[in-house]
Structure 1
Amino acid sequence: MNAGLSKAAGAGPILDVKNLSVAYGKVEALHGASLAVASGQMVTVIGPNGAGKTTMLAAIMGQLASKGEISFLGRPQTRTKVEARVMEGMTLVPETRELFSTMTVEDNLLMGAYARHALGDRDHEKTMEEVFHRFPRMKERRDQLAGTLSGGERAMLVLGRALMAKPKVLLLDEPSLGLAPLIVKEIFRIIADLKQSGVAILLVEQNARAALQISDYGYVLETGKVVLEGPSVDLQHDQRVTETYLGGAALKR
């Protein structure tokens, strides 16, 4: 079992990645990376731009060809297409925050429930009310076109749309990217609350300080390789992490 599983998180990983490698032509962007996420656990991957963080998420989601082993819910995913992974409960929120800009906020949210609807689930109205409870601003703007939202509102909407799928594991790619500090604080508060609801979260984030504060376990990815891992509370006080990613100041316990 991967060392990333916390004792409180359960007996085994809901997502288990071993020796994952991805190449763009002759250039290998990810080299033998391994990580694990247990049910109800939040794991973060930090690292500089170009380290391979987004590549890792895309490969786990099945959007990129890769070598290695990806197991989700105890089942190998090597030959599983993206759509099947979504149906099983894996959801990716990309850093691009792509929305259907000419559709309303409510219709964008309904698109998130499409896979569950195809499987016969008809509880999307209840799920939407749960999303509105987490994102009151989305309820206020439910009839507004998504293309007219601010950057922070777009970030909330893509998170809300992902939750409409009722994911078992949520892959978040740079949720704080390009947002104002106050919005970043709100987004991370919401992500921390999501963990309390029981969903497993794999968070890729350049804001190492904020990510380590809310996660259980962390991995440091540099030049396509996992160079360090451990409980987030330990990484917050690791000299290499503090000097490189936290501005030289360890986080307070």
Structure 2
Amino acid sequence: MANVLEINKLSVAYGKVEAVSDISLAVGEGQIVTVIGPNGAGKTTTLSAIMGLLPSRGQVSFDGQVEVVPEVERMVVRGMNLVPEKRELFGTMSIEDNLLLGAFQRHRHGHRDHAATMEEVYALFPRLKERRKQAAGTMSGGERQMLAVGRALMAKPKLLMLDEPSLGLAPLIVREIFRIIAELRRRGVSILLVEQNARAALQVADYAYVLENGQVRMHGEAGALRNDPRVIESYLGLASKHQEMLAS
């Protein structure tokens, strides 16, 4: 399997404090790869550096091409997209207009397929179509997450990076979000998933990395890590019934 993303010895510092140290990871084409770990482990920082939102050292290779200094606009044009934890929607704009903004870079580069892409997004998220004229700021948390993912899909990404997609959502909505993540893989989208809900993440992922204090402590097939005593003790033991309900 070819890798759509390869990270080699990625490091990020905030002033003199190194938040991420020499991280190496890979995402294969059509794979879901998850990064789990405690708060402050460097998970969000890693995604931001890959996307070019933060300066970093190391090597980022995307779709077979090394990015010496990743730049956000270039990464989006090349087929990478990030759905941030805070979703960052335009609250006063309609759902439909938020989606159209997701296709802006493709439109700038001569692609005129946004109408067909929007119908694909609406097929994934029928609720967005029902409410397409509604202001994004009036939506529930789950609907905003769906819109944030839909907007990213408007760019037709080869790699979709998701930062804490289940954060703050009700259990039923969490299950729906993870069902959609699995469906996106079925459609050929590669996904790098940062997620606090380790049980749900390991349930849906093909491969996993465990991040602690800015370093990769463990990695392997998601199914193997799900049954690893160290992972169970550190990440799956606490509130395991609640996490199991969200993952099922």
- Tell me the TM-score normalized by structure 2: 0.95
For the Cα contact (< 8 Å) 2:51–2:70, is it kept in 1? no
User: Equivalent residue for 1:167?
Assistant: 157
Paired residue secondary structure (1:142): coil
Is 2:182 aligned against 1:192? yes
Q: Give the CA deviation at 1:81.
A: 1.5
User: Equivalent residue for 1:206?
Assistant: 196
- Tell me the TM-score normalized by structure 1: 0.93
Amino acid at match of 1:98: E
Q: Give the CA deviation at 1:199.
A: 0.7
Tell me how far apart the structure 2 counterparts of residues 214 and 235 of structure 1 sit (CA, whole Å): 12
User: Equivalent residue for 1:105?
Assistant: 95
Deviations 1:57-84 (A, max 9, x none): 0000001011111000111112242100
Is 2:28 aligned against 1:75? no
Query: Which residue, out of 227, 234, 239, partners 1:237?
Result: 227
Tell me how far apart the structure 2 counterparts of residues 65 and 166 of structure 1 sit (CA, whole Å): 25
Query: Which residue, out of 138, 153, 172, partners 2:128?
Result: 138
User: Equivalent residue for 1:66?
Assistant: 56
Runs of 4+ in 1 over 2 A off after TM superposition: 248-251
Paired residue secondary structure (1:16): strand
Paired residue secondary structure (2:24): strand
Identity level (%): 64
CA root-mean-square deviation: 1.4
Query: Which residue, out of 21, 25, 31, partners 2:15?
Result: 25
Paired residue secondary structure (1:218): strand
Tell me how far apart the structure 2 counterparts of residues 150 and 213 of structure 1 sit (CA, whole Å): 26
Query: Which residue, out of 159, 168, 171, partners 1:178?
Result: 168
Query: Which residue, out of 90, 100, 103, partners 2:80?
Result: 90
Q: Give the CA deviation at 1:38.
A: 1.1
Amino acid at match of 1:169: L
Tell me how far apart the structure 2 counterparts of residues 74 and 24 of structure 1 sit (CA, whole Å): 29
Aligned length: 242
Query: Which residue, out of 192, 201, 206, partners 1:216?
Result: 206
Question: Unaligned regions of 5+ residues in structure 2, if any?
Answer: none
